[in-house]
Amino acid sequence: MKYNEDETNNDICWGRNSVFSLLEDYPERCSKVLLAKNIQPHIREKVQGLLRSANVVLQYVDNQVLDRVTNKENHQGIVAYSVPMELMDIEDVVSSLPSVPDAAMIILCDHIQDPHNLGAIIRTAEVAGASAVVIPKRGGCLPTGTVVKTSAGAALRVPLAKIGNIAQAIEYLQKSGFWIIGLAMEADETLFKGDIPKRAVFVIGSEGEGIGKLVAKSCDELRSIPMSGKTGSLNASVAAGLAMFEWSRINKFAI
Question: Predicted confidence band at 6 (pLDDT cuts at 50, 70, 90)?
Answer: very low
- At 57-76, the pLDDT tens digits run 889 999 999 999 888 888 99
Q: Say whether pLDDT at 50 is over 90.
A: no
pLDDT band of residue 3 (cuts 50, 70, 90) is very low
Mean pLDDT of 114-127: 94
Q: Give the residue among 200, 196, 178 at the shortest CA–CA distance from 246.
A: 196
pTM over 0.85: no
* Residue 10 confidence class, pLDDT cut points 50, 70, 90: low
* DSSP tag of 27: G
Q: Which residues pair with 61 in a beta bridge?
A: 36
Tell me the C-alpha distance between 127 and 210, whole Å. Answer: 24
For position 65, what pLDDT does the model report?
A: 93
Which of 2-6, 13-17, 244-248 has the highest mean predicted lDDT (pLDDT)?
244-248
User: Count of CB atoms within 10 A of residue 190's CB?
Assistant: 11
